[in-house]
Chains A and B, each alone.
Chain A
Amino acid sequence: MIEIKRLDKRYSDGNHALKGISFDIDKRLTTVIGRNGAGKTTLMRILSTQLLQSSGTVRIDGLDNITEAKEIRKRIVSIPQEASPIGYLTPMEHLKMYLCARGMSLGDSTIEASRALKELELWHARDTPSDMLSGGMKRKIFVAMALAANADTIFLDEPTTGLDPLSRIEVWSAIKMLRGNIVLTTHYMEEAAELSEDVIMVESGKVLARGTVGSLLKRFKGMARAETSSKNAKSKYVIGNTRITYIKLSEAEKYAKEGYVIKPITLDDLFIMQGVDIES
């Protein structure tokens, strides 16, 4: 259970990354979704005791993130955004080093690392220097660290950013194998839809909406998105050269004949409807 109360973070350069947000996290897999600069990474770094907040409180399993950080670190695993393995080292070496850093004995770390590498199908590459592995496999090394650590809470900051679609699916299936509660950030809407029970949408340091994917998309029931690049089209939402209108499914054929591209509703549409940095 993670309790966040009036959490605020202002960096020394004046960037106000989190603006007094409050919520609890108690689901098996929670996704914090938002665009670049929304405050996701700042939130994750505070939760995983890497960064101190300006004000507000965070409690993880009842432990305060400032005064009881050492205790929290025994219970969590945090995989940073854009983390890369050290090129010289193999997956097995990464895992053993990481588990030893967490206080595990060398013997236990070998057992746990082997188990995790087998479970995530990295066993065949266990002794390959990681700079020779694919992007997906490199990212899976970090998921394997989380798996081997058997932590109660796992923070994954944008675990699939920059990966090709197949590698992303590979990492998603690895994430699903993790034990413990997972808090994951992403700016991929389909990732949140694929993985999570609970979605928290953040923008400009504030929580915009929260719920299951189904409940968040409830308002779009029976609707579709119609897009056009025609400048003459009447649209409520404009992103770059694309004009977007939300229509009833029954009107889809009519709009298609007028040259609109009809698309199904996704979590992207929640951001568009919120008017996030969009000329409307």
Chain B
Amino acid sequence: MNLKFIGTFTWYYGIRSIKRGPSYIISSILYPLVFLFLITIFSAGKYIDYAVIGGFISIVSMNAIYSGSDMAFQRLQLRTQDLFVATGIGPADYMLAMGLSYLASSLPGLAVYAVIGILLGIFGIASTLAFIVLLLAVLLGTMAISFTIFGFIKHVRNIWGIAGIVSILLTVLPPTFYPYTILPKALLYVFMISPITSVAMLAQGAFGLAPMAYYAIPVLIIEIIIFSLIGIKLMRWREK
């Protein structure tokens, strides 16, 4: 693993880019804030905690999805991947560097949500620690699923449309912004194909908003491992 490369890439592409492209950061914050607003209005404040927790998950997972789409863009349009293949770094280095860069891009959004969460008094020490672990899990899981999906893309013109579809299907449909308990069991199990569902279920359990679904833990771990392996395999690092 080339930590120097991962570090410089994350610093330059993830952190320094924030001030050069603030519109992207604002758009990634705005999207869950709109949900927070709508959910608060329609539920008369009843589901505001779900919306805040869901906002965190949504920001991290949406950025993880866009890291996969950006990687496809860099492979197909900028030829960045070809440039790096001949340097000796491996696909895992590049994936991790890209994922961490997008995590860095998530930081301003997470800060906004942290302030909202503190103002609402929803954070306890144990639940917050558990939530940080879950956010890292959702980052890894969504990155893996995103790299898997975008590994199939062969034309630049499809990247952004598919990124939009994937982000809606993975971050809005699953119970990120609403209690997982209101979903019919069969539908919940279908949604659990996405690691975001498992993380949302566990986060709602950790904050005492819904019963703790312990069975989601092994599901989440297995999903992260399987999607990571498929994502690296499909990355076509050195093409045949």
Chain A contacts to B: CB under 8 angstroms: 12, 45, 48-52, 69-70, 73-74, 76-86, 88-89, 93, 96-98, 100-106, 109, 129, 142, 145, 155
Contact = CB atoms under 8 A, between A and B. Distances in A.
Interface string B13-39: 100110011000000000000000000
A157 to B, nearest CB: 9
Given A83-B83, A84-B78, A101-B89, A106 B13 contact: no
B74 interface: yes
Contacts of B17: 88-89
B233 interface: no
A47 B12 CA distance: 30
A49 B85 CA distance: 8
Contact of B88 (A12, A70, A83, A96): A70
B85 A50 contact: yes
Contacts of A129: 20
Interface in B110-158: none
B8 A49 contact: no
Contact of B8 (A45, A74, A82, A106): A106
A167 to B, nearest CB: 19
9 contacts: A49-B238, A51-B238, A81-B79, A84-B78, A86-B13, A88-B13, A89-B17, A96-B12, A97-B13
Give the one of B5, B21, B88 with max A CB within 10 A: B88
Given A97-B8, A97-B9, 15 more contacts: A50-B86, A50-B238, A50-B239, A70-B88, A80-B79, A83-B82, A85-B78, A86-B13, A86-B80, A101-B84, A101-B93, A103-B4, A109-B8, A145-B83, A155-B86
Contacts of B8: 93, 96-97, 100, 106, 109
Given A89-B17, A101-B2, A106-B8, A73 B77 contact: no
Contacts, number: 96
Interface of B: 2, 4-5, 7-9, 12-13, 16-17, 20-21, 74, 77-80, 82-89, 93, 238-240
A97 B12 contact: yes
Contacts of A97: 5, 8-9, 12-13
Nearest to A106: B4
Nearest to A76: B86
Given A45-B82, A51-B239, A101 B87 contact: yes
A80 B83 contact: yes
Contacts of A96: 8, 12
CB-based closest 3 A-B pairs: A78-B86, A80-B79, A80-B82
Contact of B78 (A86, A93, A98, A155): A86
Contacts of B16: 88-89, 93
